[in-house]
Structure 1
Amino acid sequence: MAKIIPFKAVRPTRDKVSLVAARSYQSYTKEQLESRLRDNPFSFLQIVNPGYRYDKEISGEARYNLVRNRYLEFKEDDIFVQDNTACFYVYKIVDRDKQEFNGIVAAASAEDYEKDIIKKHEDTIEYREIIFKEYLKTVGFNAEPVLLTYPDNNIIAKIIENTQKHRAEFEFTTTYRDTHYLWKVEDKKTIATISAEFEKMKTIYIADGHHRSASSYLLYKDLKDANPDHHGDENYNFFMSYLLPESDLRIHEFNRIVKDLNGLSKEEFLIQLDTIYRIENRGLHPYKPSKKHHFSMYLDGEFYSLYLRKTSYDIETSLDALDSQILYKTILKPILGIEDLRNDHRISYINGKKDIVNIKSSVDSGEYVVGFGMVPVDIEEMKQIADDGLKMPPKSTFIEPKLRSGVTIYEF
């Protein structure tokens, strides 16, 4: 049973929230980051890039301490204010394509992560978990929720709907033209109802934020072991999450582009593919697959459709049936020699929300030689792989919504 609780969020004041809210700093180009740090003193980027003040790159423990200092300054200057009572926060995003996402920001249990009540579908990298754990331990807060998804629930949906009939605490639009809304849920009876509905759920799933979840769990273990008076309701027992019903989740694919053919000529490469796939040359006509186990390929100025030959590939597990795994096991690893999907510099990824012609542009530029497209993973595939205790290949899903940092903050 999932344990989901309210918490006392630290939040920007209403007049500052649109200035504070920021994407993950890794998503900005160097020029974009420089512009925001120069022109917006209220951006959350000022906190997580403390070296900007000194015109110096700062890393490790020194950076973590400065992040903590900048955060405290924002609190001292009343840019951030903490709520007096523990709340759930109904959060709505309407993106530029008019897609709506309606969920609840809350605290999820690190123990549920340990017990596999909160299930994972992606592998994490240990050193990244440890680095972020140490970061969290020093700064003392988390500013970006993990995205969790749960089975659609009529009672929770009705609470969200009724809450949204009132004036939002926050309403702001980003330069990406996404509009964000936040409402506080303070009524104790409503809070109890929400918690009780989540307690009925045997499993919820991480949609996005596997490393943040893992790091929060490691932090929980460290602080629990260091606390002789541990009793289980300390803030470190939980981590901030945005819980979204499955029907609101949007899953896109990640397409693959590769820099060379591993020493093969075009003809040799196509001959090797022919043993595993039915190949059709589509010429200049952009081809986007519409079925599982069908792939698009762009090579030497032409599009191809690739249909997996059923007799050439054995499906024994839910992971074997995943298209990103099929592509890895049949082409990327055995033919193109790409073993490590995370670290091999020969492969890059384009999220499937972008048009298929982005693959063509990357190959036509000369930086890449071949590109592959596929259909997105669906929610049932993702859940089945998590239920089976398996892990998807890296970059198997591009999941929306993408959340902003600094709108709600959870302190440990």
Structure 2
Amino acid sequence: MAAIRCFKAFRPRPDICDRVAALPYDVYSRKEACEEVRREPMSFLKVDRAETSFDDSVDTYAPEVYKKAGDLLHEMMEDGTYIEEEKPVYYIYELIMDGRHQTGLVACASIDDYVNGVIKKHENTREDKEQDRIRHVEACGAQTGPIFLAYRSIDIVNQIIDRVKTGEKLYGFTSPDGITHNVWIIDEADDIQIIQEAFAGINEIYIADGHHRSASAVKAGLHMREQHPDYTGEEEFNYFLSVLFPHDQLMILPYNRVVNDLNGMTDDEFLKKLEDKFEVKACDAAVSPGKKGSFGMYMDGRWYQLTVKDGVVPEDVVGCLDVSVLQENVLAPMLGIGDPRTDKRIQFVGGIRGLSELERLVDGGKKVAFSMYPTSITELFDIADAGKLMPPKSTWFEPKLRSGIFIHKINE
């Protein structure tokens, strides 16, 4: 059973929420983060990426950077930027992109559910990235960026959310990237109880996006348990900030690949090798794959469609992913990219950037790009249920949840 509970958020004043709300910390380089904070001094990015308060001589991971994050958050709580909810509640967070609505429940998930496997993972995490966010959470005494969770749709929860959405919004704004953000509050005791009981009846919740943030939140919570051996399990540090979305509202975009060189082969040699595993067809226009087992490829100013041949794709849930098929049949054996996590010859391009970005990179000096058919939410669930992991960069979720709208304090 899943423990999904309401909480007393710190949240921005309604008149400035649009200025405070920020994209997740990890979508920016340091330079981009500094530029964004200069553009909007109230952006929560100044807390999530507190190195923006220092010049380049100060390391991103220096102790004073984390201290600054905590100081800035405390100032925002003291100066009226943030207000504290009077009682524990749930929130509804709707994002609208290109006319498509995606509505989630803002709540706190249990670190025990994470440890025990009720909350399921599909990616590995890196220790250095975990340590960064652990230090940030501990310096702030709060979780500032929600984890993107998914669950199989629950009718009674949908009914409550749909009804509350007919009422007055808590927030409503459109961010500079054109995404509309709407927030409502669920504060009726009966609704809260029904939602809690509905989630208590399920055993599977999935991390869609935010594996490092969730791992960090859990480890920070476990560390606080060590510091408080008399903990009861009800303390806020036993829970982490999340937004939970029903599976039928989520869209996964492709995560495309670009490679620097052909591993010593000529174009013709590479095309000939591809024919061992794929039907290769030259195309006059950019190729956005329309089905599983199909790939677009851009090389030397020309697009190709690659269709995997019969007998190439294995039966297992990970091996049959298109990202696995490309890795095991092209990237590793042909192009010599054995570990895409560490190989500097490959880069990954989120599908939100479009096929024109692949053309730009290849025309600008890269050698070959592959456009992918997106991984499905069902594939993500199946792999997590099997206790297996996806290859790196298998999914790209859009739109991104904003940080700074909901703050979950854990040190009270």
- TM norm. shorter chain > 0.5: yes
Change (3 A) 1:370 1:51: closer
Tell me what 2:228 maps to. 227
Change (3 A) 1:70 1:316: same
TM-score, normalised on structure 2?
0.95
Tell me what 1:153 maps to. 154
Tell me what 2:302 maps to. 302
Amino acid at match of 1:190: D
Tell me what 1:64 maps to. 66
Tell me what 2:79 maps to. 77
Change (3 A) 1:52 1:218: closer
Instruction: Identify which range, 179-188 or 122-131, moves more after superposition.
Output: 122-131
CA shift, 1:333, in A, is 0.8
Q: Does 1:406 align with 2:408?
A: no
Q: Does 1:116 align with 2:117?
A: yes
Amino acid at match of 2:93: Y
Cα distance in 1 for residues equivalent to 2:373 and 2:367 = 21
CA contact (8 A) 1:249 1:401 kept: no
Amino acid at match of 2:377: I
Amino acid at match of 1:19: R
Change (3 A) 1:9 1:384: same
Change (3 A) 1:38 1:278: closer
Cα distance in 2 for residues equivalent to 1:151 and 1:166 = 25
Tell me what 2:205 maps to. 204
Tell me what 2:19 maps to. 19
Cα distance in 2 for residues equivalent to 1:314 and 1:286 = 25
Cα distance in 2 for residues equivalent to 1:130 and 1:53 = 21
Gaps of 5+ in 2: none
CA contact (8 A) 2:48 2:144 kept: no
CA contact (8 A) 2:91 2:186 kept: yes
CA contact (8 A) 2:143 2:217 kept: no
Change (3 A) 1:142 1:278: same
Say which SS state the counterpart of residue 353 (structure 1) adopts. Answer: helix
Tell me what 2:367 maps to. 369
1:24-57 C-alpha deviation (Å, 9 max, x unpaired): 2443466754444335332212323444445453
Q: Percent of counterpart pairs with the same letter?
A: 35
Tell me what 1:330 maps to. 329
Tell me what 1:378 maps to. 376
Cα distance in 1 for residues equivalent to 2:127 and 2:49 = 24
Say which SS state the counterpart of residue 236 (structure 1) adopts. Answer: helix
Tell me what 2:37 maps to. 37
Cα distance in 2 for residues equivalent to 1:273 and 1:9 = 54
Aligned residues: 408
User: What are the equivalent positions in structure 2 for 1:171-210 lying under 5 Å apart?
Assistant: 171-210=172-211
CA contact (8 A) 2:11 2:83 kept: yes
1:223-249 C-alpha deviation (Å, 9 max, x unpaired): 112212111111111100001111111
Say which SS state the counterpart of residue 269 (structure 2) adopts. Answer: helix
CA shift, 1:278, in A, is 1.7
Name the Cα RMSD after superposition.
1.7
CA contact (8 A) 1:12 1:80 kept: yes
1:140-192 C-alpha deviation (Å, 9 max, x unpaired): 11111101111112111111111112111111111112121111111111100
Amino acid at match of 2:286: P
Change (3 A) 1:19 1:200: same
Q: Does 1:142 align with 2:140?
A: no
Change (3 A) 1:364 1:41: closer
Tell me what 1:340 maps to. 339
Cα distance in 2 for residues equivalent to 1:295 and 1:314 = 14
CA contact (8 A) 1:128 1:211 kept: yes
CA shift, 1:130, in A, is 2.6
Cα distance in 1 for residues equivalent to 2:213 and 2:50 = 21
Amino acid at match of 2:194: T
Tell me what 1:93 maps to. 95
Say which SS state the counterpart of residue 160 (structure 1) adopts. Answer: helix
CA contact (8 A) 2:331 2:337 kept: yes
Say which SS state the counterpart of residue 102 (structure 1) adopts. Answer: strand
Gaps of 5+ in 1: none
Change (3 A) 1:54 1:388: closer
Amino acid at match of 1:375: Y
Change (3 A) 1:223 1:20: same
Cα distance in 2 for residues equivalent to 1:188 and 1:151 = 24
Say which SS state the counterpart of residue 114 (structure 2) adopts. Answer: helix
Tell me what 1:4 maps to. 4
Say which SS state the counterpart of residue 113 (structure 2) adopts. Answer: helix
Amino acid at match of 2:358: I
Tell me what 1:277 maps to. 278
